[in-house]
Amino acid sequence: MTAKEESARQVSDPAVLKALAHPLRQKILRRLGTAGPATSTTLAAALGENTGTLSYHLRQLERGGFVEDVTERPGSRERWWRAVSGLDIRRPSPEELTDAERTVMNELDRIRGEEDLRALHLAHRHMLEQSGPVRWVQGSRGLSHLTHQELKDFHDAYLELLARYSRGPEEAPEDARPVLLRWFGVVDDAEEGAAEEGASGGGASGRGAGTSAT
C-alpha cells in the first residue's frame, strides 16, 4: 500500500455524511473537483446560485470535512475553497442506522444514483461521437460467480486502485482531464431465479464467466 493510500481518511459516520445529502453540495464538490479551487462568488456564477446560498452550503461541507481553505492565497479578499483529497467515503451498514439516518442515506443514494446515470449517458455519448486514436472513454463488463467475501475483496481492491490514481486538478499534469470513474457489482437475482425455475422444470442452464471491454 502506498503512503497516499495509507493517508486516506475513511468517512462513514452518518452525522458527517449528512452534509453530502443535498444536490447543490454535490454540484459544488463536482465543480471543485473538475475546475479546481474557487470562491463562493465564482461558484455561484458557475452554478447559477446566489453567493449567500453558496457560502452556507460551503460551510456545511467544511464542517463535514469535505472542503477546506486554500491557504496558499492568504492575501485574497475572498475565501478560496478546494475539495479535500484522500477521502474514502463508505456507506454505513443498514443495521447501524436509526430511522432518521436511514432516510438521509436513502436521499444520498438517490442523488448519487442520478450522478451515476449522468456518467452512463456521458459514456454512451462519447462512444457514439468519439473518433481518432485518443479515446477518452474506457470500460469493461464482466460476469463471475463470487462469494459475498470475494465481492467485498473485489470492492476493496478497486478502492485501493482508485486511491492510487486519485488526484485533483491542482496535482494533475497539463494533458490530464477530469474522468468520471464508476464501479458496481450486483447479484443477478432475476437471472438466478429464472435458472432455478428452468432446473426445476427439467431444463438445463449454464452460465460461464467472462469480460468484455469498451
Lookup: cell for 115:
450522478
pLDDT at 192: 65
pLDDT at 201: 57
Cα–Cα distance for residue pair 21/19, rounded to 1 Å: 6
pLDDT at 145: 94
pLDDT at 203: 46
Per-residue pLDDT of the chain in tens (214 residues, 90 and over written 9) = 444 444 456 777 888 889 999 999 999 999 999 999 999 999 999 999 999 999 999 999 999 999 999 887 766 788 999 999 878 788 788 888 889 989 989 999 999 999 999 999 999 988 888 777 778 888 888 999 999 999 999 999 998 898 888 888 888 898 999 999 999 999 998 876 665 665 555 444 444 556 666 6
pLDDT at 28: 96
Q: How many CB atoms lie within 10 A of CB 135?
A: 11
With a threshold of 0.75, does the pTM exceed it?
no
SS3 label, residue 11: strand
Pairing of strands 80-83, 87-89: unpaired
Cα–Cα distance for residue pair 11/67, rounded to 1 Å: 14
Count the helix, strand and coil residues of the chain and give each as a percent rounded to the nearest 5: 50, 10, 40
pLDDT at 204: 42
In the chain, the number of structural domains is 1
Domain of 169 in residue numbering reads as 3-213
Contact 31, 43 (CB under 8 A): yes
CATH of the domain at 104: 1.10.10.10
Cα–Cα distance for residue pair 40/28, rounded to 1 Å: 10
Place of cell 460461464: 208
